[in-house]
Structure 1
Amino acid sequence: MRVLHTADFHAGRLLRGYDRTPEIHDALTEIAGLAKTERADAVLVSGDLFDTGNPSADAERAVFEFFLRLRDAGIPGIVIAGNHDSAARLASVAGLLGWVGIQAVAQPSANPHDMVRSVPTRGGETLTVGALPFLSERRLVKAADLLGGDTGAWRQKYREGMGFFLRRLGEGFVPGHVNMLMAHATMDGAVPSGSERTMQFDLTNSYTLSGLQLPPGAQYVALGHVHKPQQVSDAPPAYYPGSVIQLDFGEAGEKKQVNLVEVEPGRPARVHPLPLASGRELRTLRVDLEHVEARLARETGFTGLLKVIVKAPAGTAMPGLKDRVLKLMPNTLAVELDAQQDDLVVPELRREGLSLMELYERYHRERRGELPDDLRAAFKEADDTARTEDVA
């Protein structure tokens, strides 16, 4: 049996206001082509189909056309919701996806029959997958448990809750089938990309799973959530295929891939990475102020996307710097001062002690400008709702 494993599409992703969806669409077209040429019996997508819970029409088109291409090739699939997806939204189209051969598991359930899915393959074998979509730490670790607790206790509480679901999924494995596990979570030892979205990892990195918690009957564990391709467990073998394009400048230089898994019932899986060619290359340049033009002149043949960090003494005024850079390299998305130096000399840029709202305001200001009042109100409402759900 040949199973193609991918994850973390993030369709609808904006990078400094630049829409990456056309590149993601190209990557998904490439992946569907690989599934066909590599004679995949099934495709597993381990979450984060979309970048937001309310994706654009173009983002939905990119993802749904991918599923239609699989349908046209006669290849079934199983998908789970990631932390960036709206579980309710994915659940609402699960019936439609089923018509094209895609089984969607959007929300965790205490009933393992709701999360264990089977796919008969063209070779006559059956693939059984225990599918665990993203489960919010907030729903596993109640606010009452956090008050006065230490970080180790929070981590253990989370692991116990996740362990319950993993055990139930393992009980759904069938002798004589190819048995796999899917999950959207962070494993111990996983190495994240140097993503610019550090806020997410700062808030959730305390909550991880141990490889010892994975069901021993899983012949392959198909993970999503971490964007850097890697293996994080040997027994059972557990892999992140990574994101399908370089999504932000923290992923610059990473080679993107999907995993082709060859496996037979009761036999060890053989994993083959398949490189992806889609997506514009991202690159960060660090340039001394006095050498800006000369350094950029050496990049004139670069067709990817650039972030330029200009090193300059603290307090240096640089009027027109962005225009100078864009004149030479119009594919530059960001021009910044040396952030490390600024952090050292400007205490206001440090993050210790800031509230979630203050962190979000700073993030939005750095990426897209001042936070509009409607977004501020929506963020506050969402945060208040989450806190209320935890206490309930």
Structure 2
Amino acid sequence: MRVLHTADFHAGRLLRGFDRTPEIHDALTEIAGLARTERADAVLVSGDLFDTGNPSAGAEHAVFDFFLRLRDAGIPGVVIAGNHDSAARLASVTGLLGWVGIQVVAQPTANPLDMVRHIETRGGETLTVGALPYLSERRLVKAADLLGGDTGTWRQKYREGMGFFLRRLGEGFSGGSVNMLMAHATVDGAVPSGSDRGMQFDLTNSYTLSGLQLPAGAQYVALGHVHKPQTVSEAPLACYPGSVIQLDFGEGGEKKQVNLIEVEAGRPARVHALPLASGRELRTLRVDLDGVESRLSKLQGFDGLLKVVVRAPAGTALPGLKDRVLKLAPNTLAVELDAAQEDLALPEQKREGLSLMELYERYWRERRGELPADLRAAFREADLQAQEGPGGESTGEPEAVA
């Protein structure tokens, strides 16, 4: 059996106001072509199809066109919701996508075994997929309510709560089929890209899974959420394919890929990385103020997208700098002054890496002293509600300020 694994499309992504959706559409067309030429029996998409819970028409066209191309090739698939997706919105089109062979698991169910999907391949084999969509701590508490669990305990023990779902999904595996797990989550040891918003926070708090929690019966664990391609567990084999294009300048220089898994029932899986060529290259150029023109003139043939960081003494007034840069490099999306020197001059004002909670505490401390416990709790609750967005949909974990 040959299964193609991809994730993190982020259709609708705007980078400094520049719409990346046409590039994402190209990448999805390339992936659909690879699924056909590599004779994939199924495709797994591990979340974050869209960049926002209310995607544009262009973003929806890019994603749904991808599924139609798979339908035309006779290739079925399984999709889960990620933290950037609206689970309710994906759930609303589950029936329609089912008509083109795409099974969607957008929201958790009271019985986790209802999240197990089966695909009968053209070769007569069965693929069993335990599909776990993204679950924030708050959504996990809601799921615990459905299951009659102690919500107070589950709120404090995200990892144990997720382990419950993973164990139950593993119970759906069969000895006569190929067994795979899908999840949109962060596994211990995962290395983020520079653009994984909130991921640095994710990797240092309780919102992670241990590789030891992954069901042993899974021959392959198809992960999404981290944009850097990598293997995070060997037993069971668990991989992130990464995002399909360089989504932000933090991903500049990364080679993008999808994973092709060759596997048969009861045997170890083999993973092959298939490189992707779509998407414009992102590059960050750091240059001294007096070398702006000379450095940019050497990039005349560069057709990617640029971020130019200009090093200058703190407090330097630079009128017309952006116009100077854009005149030589019209493909520049951002022109920034090097913040490092300002941070060195005023270290007490450095904001990089601070969460919203930490920034609020600093703001209150500078004006009124220590933040009262009731205000801290109220701010945290408001922040969590903001992350969930309209209708209780999660938009991701708290972001550190960059």
The question of a shared fold, defined as TM-score above 0.5 by the shorter chain, is answered with yes
> Match for residue 136 of structure 1?
136
Shift of residue 341 of structure 1?
Answer: 2.0
Q: How much identity, in percent, do the aligned residues show?
A: 79
Q: How does 1:1-20 map to 2 (within 5 A)?
A: 1-20=1-20
Residue deviations 1:284-336 (CA, integer Å, cap 9, x gap): 00000000000101111100000000001111110000000000000000000
Shift of residue 201 of structure 1?
Answer: 3.5
> Match for residue 201 of structure 2?
202
Shift of residue 357 of structure 1?
Answer: 9.0
Change over 3 Å in CA distance of 1:303–1:271 after alignment to 2 = same
Helix, strand or coil for the counterpart of 2:183?
strand
Shift of residue 355 of structure 1?
Answer: 3.9
> Match for residue 364 of structure 1?
none
Q: How does 1:206-285 map to 2 (within 5 A)?
A: 206=205, 207-285=207-285
Q: Are the aligned partners of 2:137 and 2:155 in contact in 1 as well (CA < 8 Å)?
A: no
> Match for residue 294 of structure 1?
294
Q: Are the aligned partners of 2:138 and 2:155 in contact in 1 as well (CA < 8 Å)?
A: no
Counterpart AA for 1:17: G
Residue deviations 1:23-65 (CA, integer Å, cap 9, x gap): 0000000000000000000000000000000000000000000
Q: How many residues align?
A: 358
Distance in 2, matches of 1:55 and 1:122, equals: 34
Change over 3 Å in CA distance of 1:30–1:384 after alignment to 2 = closer
Q: Are the aligned partners of 1:357 and 1:380 in contact in 2 as well (CA < 8 Å)?
A: no
Shift of residue 199 of structure 1?
Answer: 3.7
Q: Are the aligned partners of 1:46 and 1:81 in contact in 2 as well (CA < 8 Å)?
A: yes
> Match for residue 62 of structure 1?
62
> Match for residue 383 of structure 1?
386
Q: Are the aligned partners of 2:154 and 2:161 in contact in 1 as well (CA < 8 Å)?
A: no
Shift of residue 155 of structure 1?
Answer: 9.6
Shift of residue 342 of structure 1?
Answer: 2.4
Q: Are the aligned partners of 1:141 and 1:157 in contact in 2 as well (CA < 8 Å)?
A: no
> Match for residue 367 of structure 1?
none
Counterpart AA for 1:120: E
Find out whether 1:350 has 2:351 as its counterpart: yes
Helix, strand or coil for the counterpart of 2:250?
helix
Q: Are the aligned partners of 1:166 and 1:214 in contact in 2 as well (CA < 8 Å)?
A: yes
Distance in 2, matches of 1:50 and 1:385, equals: 15
Residue deviations 1:147-180 (CA, integer Å, cap 9, x gap): xxxxxx9997011000000000000001110000
Distance in 1, matches of 2:355 and 2:226, equals: 27
Shift of residue 138 of structure 1?
Answer: 2.5
Q: Are the aligned partners of 2:113 and 2:168 in contact in 1 as well (CA < 8 Å)?
A: no
> Match for residue 368 of structure 1?
none
Change over 3 Å in CA distance of 1:97–1:356 after alignment to 2 = farther
Residue deviations 1:85-128 (CA, integer Å, cap 9, x gap): 00000000000000000000001123133200000000000000
> Match for residue 53 of structure 2?
53
Change over 3 Å in CA distance of 1:68–1:160 after alignment to 2 = same
> Match for residue 316 of structure 1?
316
Shift of residue 353 of structure 1?
Answer: 7.5
Counterpart AA for 1:202: F
Q: Are the aligned partners of 2:46 and 2:184 in contact in 1 as well (CA < 8 Å)?
A: yes
Shift of residue 350 of structure 1?
Answer: 1.6
Helix, strand or coil for the counterpart of 2:119?
strand
Change over 3 Å in CA distance of 1:358–1:284 after alignment to 2 = farther
Counterpart AA for 2:29: T
Q: Are the aligned partners of 2:140 and 2:154 in contact in 1 as well (CA < 8 Å)?
A: no
Counterpart AA for 1:332: T
Shift of residue 340 of structure 1?
Answer: 2.0
Distance in 1, matches of 2:388 and 2:320, equals: 44
Structure 1, gaps ≥5 residues long? 143-152, 360-378
Structure 2, gaps ≥5 residues long? 143-152, 362-381, 393-402
Distance in 1, matches of 2:317 and 2:154, equals: 46
Change over 3 Å in CA distance of 1:199–1:300 after alignment to 2 = same
Shift of residue 382 of structure 1?
Answer: 4.2
Helix, strand or coil for the counterpart of 2:307?
strand
Change over 3 Å in CA distance of 1:81–1:356 after alignment to 2 = farther
Q: Are the aligned partners of 1:284 and 1:306 in contact in 2 as well (CA < 8 Å)?
A: yes
Shift of residue 82 of structure 1?
Answer: 0.2
> Match for residue 372 of structure 2?
none
Distance in 1, matches of 2:94 and 2:141, equals: 28
Distance in 2, matches of 1:384 and 1:155, equals: 16
Counterpart AA for 1:383: A
Q: Are the aligned partners of 2:45 and 2:80 in contact in 1 as well (CA < 8 Å)?
A: yes
Helix, strand or coil for the counterpart of 1:310?
strand
Distance in 2, matches of 1:43 and 1:385, equals: 28
Change over 3 Å in CA distance of 1:199–1:60 after alignment to 2 = same
Change over 3 Å in CA distance of 1:86–1:32 after alignment to 2 = same
- CA-based RMSD of the aligned residues comes to 2.4
Helix, strand or coil for the counterpart of 2:157?
helix
Q: How does 1:332-371 map to 2 (within 5 A)?
A: 332-346=332-346, 347-350=348-351, 352=354, 354-355=356-357
> Match for residue 96 of structure 1?
96
Change over 3 Å in CA distance of 1:385–1:310 after alignment to 2 = closer
Residue deviations 1:155-210 (CA, integer Å, cap 9, x gap): 97011000000000000001110000000000000000011x54454267411100
> Match for residue 169 of structure 1?
169
Q: Are the aligned partners of 1:221 and 1:239 in contact in 2 as well (CA < 8 Å)?
A: yes
